[in-house]
Amino acid sequence: MEENKIKENKIKVALLGLGTVGTGVYKLIHRRGDVMERTIGAELEIFRILVHSLKKERPGIDASLLTDNWQEILADDEIQIVIEVMGGIEPARTMILDALHAGKHVVTANKDLVAEYGKELLDAAEAGKCDFLFEAAVAGGIPIIRPLKQCLAGNEISEVIGIVNGTTNYILTKMFEDNMSFEEALAKATELGYAEADPTADVEGLDAGRKVAIMASIAFHSRVVFKDVYTEGITKITSKDIAYAKEFDSVIKLLGVAHNTENGIEVGVYPMLLNKDHPLASVRDSFNAVFVHGDAVDDAMFYGRGAGELPTASAVMGDIIDVARDIQYHCNGRISCTCYKELPIKDFDDVKNKFFLRMQVKNQPGVLACIAKVFGDHKVSIARVVQKHAKENEAELVIVTDKVKEYHLKDALGELRGIDSILDISSLIREY
């Protein structure tokens, strides 16, 4: 450090929001007082907490810190770091932009916001020479953004696959290990507080889609937003599918999948059959994990708690400590947006996948030949066919395809659905 640089002995922060994550951050800042002073040479002080209602009882919280007036926080030059843990797009977006324009550093856990307005926020941070960090926005407590931006910065990353939604991973684990139906497992997840009253964002893959958009942007150095992500949930997965997965030495996981290919970025969220030897296959219960392939590092995986009060606060706290170090060394903005490419996003119809199909057909000669012809006409080649549970008039066929383009398969299925001897196509799951 040069002589003219002065270190702070107290760094004041404002907390926006005091829900689950906010409470965790509040606790952790108090719990780690000694660490802050010894690692960054300054005390970290929560100076203001923005809440919606000043009347609500908040046991364990110093009430004198509470305010419902954002402008008061914004105008206070003593506050150097704003920690946004309210969630949602507005007013979080406006507040963060205001804070960055005012030269305040921002740490957020807000995946919705970063997945949609990441560029705007990072640009504002760069313009204001501020830090804007969001490790907690992807996979909760699991370190993933910093590893991608720093540790693996020497790699060309070609693949990021994540189990990044704990609720659906819990549901699929219960279906797999305890033979629950989807509905039973969802009920159990709701009972334990893993699933929200309206579980749509989780079970339909929307939450995972936001996270994979953020991860793909960082891994491939090119902006991916939520609307670029194809999403498909787990509501159609049945006990029978799980049974077949077991028979094939596989599990079914809801995966956020991003590939950087020669023809553009492929990005989607959907359930997949995954061989049990894959490192992601052993990620159970509500745990999350992100698997990365880089040209130098080869395969790597990051595993841990993707949500929860303290795990998420752990990630927020890591960011706060980094901002504080940057303040002490006068180097805020040291790592900002790393999207210096503009890669196209591939139309999902052109993405190639292997498919596992289960269909009910009439048990009569020529049906398989007919199916094979339709597939052949649409360039879908078949890797395996197994006939199961043949009853007098009806048989169940399980077909696994080679890698085929999504639209070829879609077209083939459209044609198959019009054929009399094909009674039902009951499952269609991609295979890793």
Figure out which of the listed residues 300, 382, 398, 419 binds a copy of itself, where binding follows CB under 8 A.
300
- Write the Ramachandran bin of 183: left for phi over 0, alpha for psi from -120 to 50, otherwise beta: alpha
**Counting contacts by CB under 8 A, is residue 386 touching a copy of itself?**
no
Active-site positions read 211
- By beta-carbon proximity to a copy of itself, the closer residue of 340 and 420 is 340
- Answer yes or no: are the C-beta atoms of 327 and 78 closer than 8 Å: no
CB of 294 to a copy of itself, least distance (A): 7
CB of 394 to a copy of itself, least distance (A): 39
- Residue 190 marked ligand-binding: no
* DSSP letters spanning 252-265: EEEEEEEEEETTEE
For tokens 């549970």, the residue is 389
CB of 22 to a copy of itself, least distance (A): 14
Alpha helices in 141-263 (DSSP H): 145-146, 166-177, 182-191, 200-203, 206-220, 239-247
- By beta-carbon proximity to a copy of itself, the closer residue of 305 and 358 is 305
Does the bond joining 311 to the residue before it have cis omega, within 30 degrees of 0? Answer: no
CB of 161 to a copy of itself, least distance (A): 13
**Counting contacts by CB under 8 A, is residue 197 touching a copy of itself?**
no
How many beta carbons lie within 10 A of that of residue 429, not counting itself?
Answer: 24
Q: Which helix (DSSP H) or strand (DSSP E) does residue 66 occupy?
A: strand 66-67
**Counting contacts by CB under 8 A, is residue 151 touching a copy of itself?**
yes
**Counting contacts by CB under 8 A, is residue 166 touching a copy of itself?**
no
Give CA–CA dist 9/41, Å, rounded.
7
Four-residue CA torsion sign, 266, 269, 273, 276: positive
* # chain residues binding a copy of itself, by CB under 8 A: 66
Binding mask 24-43 for a copy of itself (x = CB under 8 A): x---x--xx--x--xx----
- Answer yes or no: are the C-beta atoms of 208 and 269 closer than 8 Å: yes
Residue numbering of the annotated binding site for NADP(+) = 16-23
Residues contributing to the site for a copy of itself (CB under 8 A): 1-2, 24, 28, 31-32, 35, 38-39, 129, 135, 141-143, 146-147, 150-156, 221, 277, 279, 281-284, 287, 289, 294-305, 308, 310-311, 313-318, 320-322, 325-326, 329-331, 333-335, 338, 340
